[in-house]
Amino acid sequence: MVITHSQYQDMPPAVQESVLNVVGGYPLSGQVRVSGAKNSALVLMAASLLCPQELCLRNVPNLADVERMAEIIRSLGASVVKADDSLLLNASNIGQSSAPYDLVSQLRASFFAIGPIVARLGEAKMPLPGGCAIGARPVDLHVRGLRALGADVQIDHGIVHAYVRGQQKRLTGARIYLDCPSVGATETLMMAATLAEGETIIENAAQEPEVVDLANFCCSMGAKIRGAGTKTIVISGVRELHATDYGIVPDRIEAGTFLVAGAITHSSDFTLTPVVPAHLTAVMTKLRSVGAEVSIEAPNTMRVVSSRPLTAVDIETLPFPGFPTDMQAQFMALLTLSEGNSVITETVFENRLRHVAELNRMGADIRVKGNIAVVRGVPFLSGAPVLATDLRASAALVIAGLAAQGTTQIRGLHHLDRGYEKLEDKLRNLGACIERANIDVEPDGIASSASLTNSPLDQPAPLKP
Ligand code: UD1
């Protein structure tokens, strides 16, 4: 088809999009600083709504998701002031107004704020968050648990409205059994129960380190919580919480992502700090099975040394202390280059294998049936233009790019920016060849071919030792 001059003028102009260009084959060495945990930061910000006094959160990662959570909290009447990696939060004057759906739909964790608000004010409204790229992600366990604590909960026109009858407007402690150990439901109900009258017991609770961090944070504000980190959490309600100054735990998923980056690249040797090695037991065990050398150098420092050959290993994602679903995509990238067949079973989310198609574009050999992926190891990956489909998938593509021959160009960086603070700076400091660039994208979403080949990193990758 020939496009006439006037048709050409009518076409909408190309827009610019940020991409990451990664040239594979560079060894990583040095030390990387791990940021505060994204998933802790988000829920601790929600928990700040429980307290009528000013709080300080430290070690807060600088991420798009944290910005969004701050907007949600502000929309409810609280103030959030950022200073370096700290947040000053003041929820002395919050209201029951519903947070905007646009924000809640972009950030599922913002729904968790329903627990603190109903606990503190006796009434809360939150839009249903809806599904997301990795699954339907219902909130039925949150709703059932709030009902068990004495709230009336109605869902009308997409808004969840929870309120407590009676003069006191106070939730009442209850024994709650969760059908599955949902992280979010455990957190919502733990927060709600801190101000309830009497004792709450959450059975089959999630045991993730972020749940423990939330419990520690709430206890530092005067809450009475026992058993966080086990399957049974007991919360004795108190009347009011008080000010605190609290540092968020290191991000185990960011740390795990770097460990995999160390394992997949040739001749790499670097340390990560701060980390809590106990949070990474499953990841460390599987990395060692694949053939990487992973060691604990100090109580808060780990070291990864790459080693060859990499061998296939099977993985099944499970709630903590099992292998984390948030590390599945990154590990799949590693297994594409491991000798033999690996079977990856995703049991936590129903739609979390969309990165397979992108890894296959880079030369991987992965087949999917339902929630199972069979990865047949290949001798090498080759750089290609790829699209990130969700947060951890984008990290997997970066990892694959670090090991691939030639340049990998990754689009869809809004996913990456949700959860990784300065990933490319940290990798570059370790010696990776990675750079963010702007490309022209046609209105149909296709990157113009000129922008794909005009990489500022157009240089040969080093020879493999
Ligand atoms: C949290 C993490 C996410 C991680 C996940 C599992 C945050 C902000 N996000 O998400 O990074 O991947 O834990 O470790 O902390 N479910 C229900 N009903 C519910 C709630 C959950 O059926 O009411 C199901 C979900 O659909 C999913 C499973 O339970 O299949 C686990 O989800 P959950 O542990 O709740 O994950 P999130 O808290 O959303």
> Ligand 1 atom 26: the closest Cα is on which residue?
137
Residue with the smallest CA separation from ligand 1 atom 32 is 182
Q: Does the beta carbon of 288 lie inside 6 Å of ligand 1?
A: no
Please report where in the chains the tokens 């109605």 appear, as a residue: 154
Ligand 1 contacts CB of residue 140 (under 6 A): yes
Q: What is residue 131's predicted lDDT score, i.e. its pLDDT?
A: 57
Phi-psi region of 406 (alpha: psi -120 to 50; beta: other; left: phi over 0): left
Distance between CA atoms of residues 189 and 3, nearest Å: 60
One-letter amino acid for residue 453 of the chain: T
Q: Answer yes or no: is the C-beta of 109 below 6 A from any ligand 1 atom.
A: yes
Distance 137 CA to ligand 1 centre (A): 7
User: Diameter of the chain by CA atoms?
Assistant: 76
Cα of 139 from ligand 1 centre, angstroms: 9
Environment class of 96 (CB within 10 Å of its CB; exposed 0-12, middle 13-18, buried 19+): middle
Instruction: Identify the pLDDT of residue 137.
Output: 78
Q: Which sign does the torsion angle of CA 71, 59, 435, 363 carry?
A: negative
Segment 208-235, tens digit of pLDDT: 999 999 999 999 999 999 999 999 999 9
Q: Domains of the chain (ranges plus CATH)?
A: 13-35+250-453 (3.65.10.10), 38-240 (3.65.10.10)
Look at residue 371 in the predicted model and tell me its pLDDT: 96
For the Cβ of 325 lying below 6 angstroms from any atom of ligand 1, the answer is yes
Task: Give the per-residue pLDDT at 441.
Answer: 80
> Quick check: 159 and 105 in contact, CB under 8 A?
no
- Residue 460 is predicted with a pLDDT of 47
As to burial, measured by CB atoms within 10 angstroms (0-12 exposed, 13-18 middle, 19+ buried), residue 130 is middle
Q: Note if 51 is an active site residue.
A: no
- Please report the atom of ligand 1 found closest to the CA of residue 136: 26
Decide: 57 and 44 in contact? Cβ < 8 Å: yes
Q: What per-residue confidence (pLDDT) applies to 12?
A: 65
What is the reported pTM? 0.93
Encode pLDDT of 23-75 as tens digits: 999 999 999 999 999 999 999 999 999 999 999 999 999 999 999 999 999 99
Strand, coil or helix: 127: strand
The CA 109 to ligand 1 mean position distance, Å, reads 9
pLDDT of residue 281: 98
Peptide bond into 309 cis (omega under 30): yes
Q: Supply the residue whose CA is at minimum distance from atom 37 of ligand 1.
A: 184
Residue 179: other Cβ atoms inside 10 A: 10
pLDDT at residue 322, as a whole number: 98
Ligand 1 touching residue 42 (CB < 6 A): yes
Query: What residues in the chain have per-residue pLDDT under 70?
Result: 1-13, 96-97, 130-132, 134-136, 443-465
For strands 385-387 and 407-411, give the pairing: parallel
Q: Is 183 in the pocket of ligand 1 (CB under 6 A)?
A: yes
- The alpha carbon torsion through 400, 209, 390, 24 (nearest 10 deg) reads -20
Tell me which residue has its CA closest to atom 21 in ligand 1: 182
Burial tier of 262 (Cβ tally within 10 Å: 0-12, 13-18, 19+): buried
For ligand 1, atom 4, the nearest C-alpha belongs to 326
